[in-house]
């Protein structure tokens, strides 16, 4: 059980339901509990280290959502370069990760964390929030699509030497520009393998090389997972 640190003021956008509270995480015990939650959420993938979480916490970028005294979600936000990651843009912040306990998904906790991170980015006089996502992680892509994020790059071996495991799509949102709601549909891509889909990755790379950045909306039914691709 983690003792809750300082609670963050909540506005309408990041207001949590019921007895949930979002707080800034700090201290060894809180960081260990955040790691435990993150490791469980990303089981089978590269695990975050205590050093990484501690460094992010030192930047006042580690946040948790609690139900009563139990941590059920956490987010990592970087405002400065570190010894393990350099920011892609000037005047930007990077979402290093979000994790939600499986028993608490579908309650809007990830959305509240994104809204809270955007608010913290603005308070730190930054203009851009960006993140990295596996191309096959359609649930993550759809979550960030709903918040107005665009895909601007695909980088091989972004987190390590393995092309399959460590390559990522990069997404961003300018927090100073109004969202363009008028978009042109240019392609539909079908996800055929949720672990590794080389055809999907190749198609996304081709589209990015032609258009610079694209918006990706996920449409699912009982048979298919389709990536609807748009440009402004």
pLDDT tens across the length of the chain (232 residues): 333 445 555 555 556 666 788 899 999 999 999 999 999 999 878 899 999 999 999 999 999 999 988 999 999 999 999 999 999 999 999 999 999 999 999 999 999 999 999 999 999 999 999 999 999 999 999 999 999 999 999 999 999 999 888 999 999 999 999 888 899 999 999 999 999 999 999 999 999 999 999 999 999 988 999 999 999 9
Q: Alpha-carbon distance 21 to 16, whole Å?
A: 7
Q: Alpha-carbon distance 55 to 64, whole Å?
A: 16
Q: Alpha-carbon distance 54 to 137, whole Å?
A: 26
Task: Please say whether the beta carbons of 84 and 55 come within 8 A.
Answer: yes
Enter the CATH code of domain 1-126. Answer: 3.40.630.30
Q: The whole model's pTM is what?
A: 0.92
β-pair partners for 155:
168
The CATH 3.40.630.30 portion of the chain extends over 1-126
């Amino acid at each position: 059980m983690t003792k809750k640190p300082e609670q963050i003021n909540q506005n309408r956008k990041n207001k949590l339901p019921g007895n949930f509270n979002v707080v800034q995480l700090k201290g060894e015990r809180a960081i260990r509990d955040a790691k435990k939650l993150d490791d469980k959420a990303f089981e089978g993938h590269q695990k975050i280290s205590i050093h990484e979480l501690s460094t992010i916490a030192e930047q006042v970028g580690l946040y948790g959502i609690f139900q009563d005294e139990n941590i059920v979600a956490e987010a990592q936000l970087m405002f400065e370069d570190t010894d393990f990651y350099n920011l892609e843009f000037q005047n930007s912040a990077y979402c290093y990760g979000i994790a939600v306990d499986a028993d608490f998904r579908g309650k809007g906790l990830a959305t509240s964390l994104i809204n809270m991170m955007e608010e913290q980015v603005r308070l730190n006089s930054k203009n851009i929030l960006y993140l990295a996502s596996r191309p096959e992680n359609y649930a993550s892509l759809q979550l960030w699509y709903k918040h107005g994020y665009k895909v601007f790059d695909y980088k091989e071996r972004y987190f390590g030497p393995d092309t399959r495991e460590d390559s990522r799509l990069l997404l961003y949102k300018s927090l100073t520009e109004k969202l363009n709601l008028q978009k042109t549909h240019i392609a539909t891509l079908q996800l055929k393998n949720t672990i590794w889909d080389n055809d999907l990755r190749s198609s996304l790379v081709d589209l990015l090389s032609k258009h610079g950045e694209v918006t990706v909306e996920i449409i699912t039914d009982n048979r298919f997972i389709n990536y609807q691709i748009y440009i402004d």
